[in-house]
Amino acid sequence: MGLLHKYLENSYYPTIEGKSRNILEAILMVTKSVEVEHFYNPLDKSEINYSKIIIREILSPQTWGFHPNRARLMKLEEKQISFNYWDYVFSFQNILYYENPRRKHSWFIRICPNVLTKEIPSWFIHWWLKFGAELTILPTSFQTHFPLWVDSHPHLSTLESNLLSGESTLYFFVQNEIPYIFKWTIKGEFDENNFPIISRNFLIKWWNKIDEKIKLSEIKDKIKQNNILLETKIQKELQAENPLLKLKNSLQRKYPMMTEEELKKRCLQYMQAQLEQTFDSDNVSLCSSKTSSKTMEELEKELNQDFDEEIPPDAQDPNPEENIDDYILQLMKTTKKK
């Protein structure tokens, strides 16, 4: 009990260079990173029953504003206090260690979605792995929809092997604005050398005031929206790789007045020229030696001639019910005859 009283039975945070609990809180609040509210014991105003923390922003070394070792100044209780970026990180890592004498203190924690709009420093991922929520506290219906949400997420679905441990869980709780309850207790045990060890045991709990039906409905809606966006993105990527679509877009830029049918004919002419240039005339009877010997520049020059030139009677629009391959072969025969 001597060790317990000396190291863990106190109502203060761990300190760094004399910066006590209220200073660590002030560092995070003056940087507009968190909002903290304490609820005191009505019978003892020095004792905090429970607290609420809302994390609104996480500053990285890049967004700190200047060198991480350079100190900022803040005024607290008529005193000037200096702190640098590493004091800021230390404050986050130790702010949740408060405990009251009755060992009944707990934290309500919520992280705002705005946090994920900027680059997340790696130390905060470690913070989440230590102090963040776990999927096991979610109701069964939420756990069922979690993999569906991850698969549809525009960011998580593309990270693949680069996904950090705990990152998908962080995104799920933060973007769906799911708060949780955190507290710690004391755990005593012996190590492998039979030395006594006293440590903190972290406990995470589901906040039972959440309306599960409404929140689950919101998650389902986001899955649908993400799937639509993901499908649109995939279609755009496929279209970007489609050579015929590129050809069509190129012709549209050159000939903005062309109709869809005219564009189709020009594309078919270009495809015919490509085939005749690609395959040797000795191996493909449909290709004339005269056409296959032409350079690519000559073919493109011919294809870029005024489109108002006369089209051979037997090269008119194909019947929609006919196979497009037959139509291409017919065009190639026509060219050979000429």
Partner residues linked to 106 by β-bridges? 50
Taking CA atoms, 279 is separated from 223, 288, 292, 295, 296, in Å, by 49, 10, 8, 13, 13
Is the CB of residue 169 less than 8 Å from the CB of residue 82? Answer: no
Distance, in Å, from the CA atom of 65 to the CA atom of 185, rounded to the nearest integer, reads 37
Write out pLDDT tens, residues 249-279: 777 777 778 788 888 888 888 778 878 877 7
DSSP letter for each residue of 140-199: HHHHHHHHHHHHH-TTHHHHGGGPPTTHHHHHHHHHTT--EEEEEEEEEEE-TTS-EEEE
φ, ψ at 254 (rounded to 5°): -75, -40
pLDDT in tens, 291-328: 444 444 554 555 555 444 444 444 444 444 445 555 55
| Dihedral angle of Cα 313, 315, 319, 324, to the nearest 10 degrees | 170
- The residue behind tokens 């026509």 is 334
| Predicted local confidence at residue 34, as pLDDT | 96
Write down the residue that tokens 């998908």 correspond to: 168
pLDDT at 312 (0 to 100): 46
Residue for token digits 């979605």?
Answer: 113
pLDDT at 66: 81
Low-confidence ranges of the chain (pLDDT < 70): 1-19, 157-163, 234-242, 280-338
Residue 286: per-residue pLDDT:
44
* Interatomic CA distance for residues 38 and 50, integer angstroms: 6
Question: What CA–CA distance (Å, rounded) separates 160 from 153?
Answer: 12
Q: Tokens 């922003």 identify what position? A: 57
Q: Is 311 exposed, middle or buried (0-12, 13-18, 19+ CB in 10 A)?
A: middle
**Three-class SS state of 42:** coil
